[in-house]
Amino acid sequence: MEMKEKLREITVGAPKNFKSETVEIDGVEFEVRQPSVEDRGKLMSKAGVTSTRDLDDMDYASLQAYSVIYCTYVPGTDEKVFSEDDYETIKNCPAGSWVDQLNAPIMNLMNVQPEEDAKN
């Protein structure tokens, strides 16, 4: 096998295995899943981030709400629990509520730590 083929096999040819975590809220399980590169870009854009220069001005509430919308699934399925119609409701939930319980592992799965990035 030529080198280029090998490199492509282990990158664009590899299976897409998205990491996920189960989050239990009031005895009910939710699955939060790592977003695709495209979805992560959409989430960041909706939070006002189009470049690393924008991190200080990021709308963290929007990032949290859209992360929950884009990354929360009925366990073991590809069915999302929330839709963009839920945005205002999710954004206006109390801090420390179920939104934060779902959002914390999503941020880890996104490989994004907006609070730390904003400090730097």
Residue 9 covered by a domain: no
Residue 7 covered by a domain: no
What is the span of the domain harbouring residue 50?
Answer: 19-119
Please tell me the predicted confidence (pLDDT) of residue 59.
Answer: 87
Two structure tokens written together for 17? 């295995």
Please tell me the predicted confidence (pLDDT) of residue 120.
Answer: 41
Two structure tokens written together for 64? 């949290």
Residue 102 covered by a domain: yes
Please tell me the predicted confidence (pLDDT) of residue 12.
Answer: 94
Please tell me the predicted confidence (pLDDT) of residue 57.
Answer: 74
- 3-state SS class at 107: helix
pTM of the model: 0.81
Residue 50 covered by a domain: yes
pLDDT by residue, tens only, the chain of 120 residues: 799 999 999 999 999 889 999 999 999 999 999 999 898 888 888 888 776 665 667 888 999 999 999 999 999 999 999 999 999 999 999 999 999 999 999 999 987 555 444 444
Residue 10 covered by a domain: no
Please tell me the predicted confidence (pLDDT) of residue 7.
Answer: 95
Q: Which of 101, 117, 114 is nearest to 27 (CA)?
A: 101
CATH code for the domain of 27: 3.30.2220.20
DSSP category for residue 35: P
Residue 31 covered by a domain: yes
**Domains contained in the chain, number:** 1
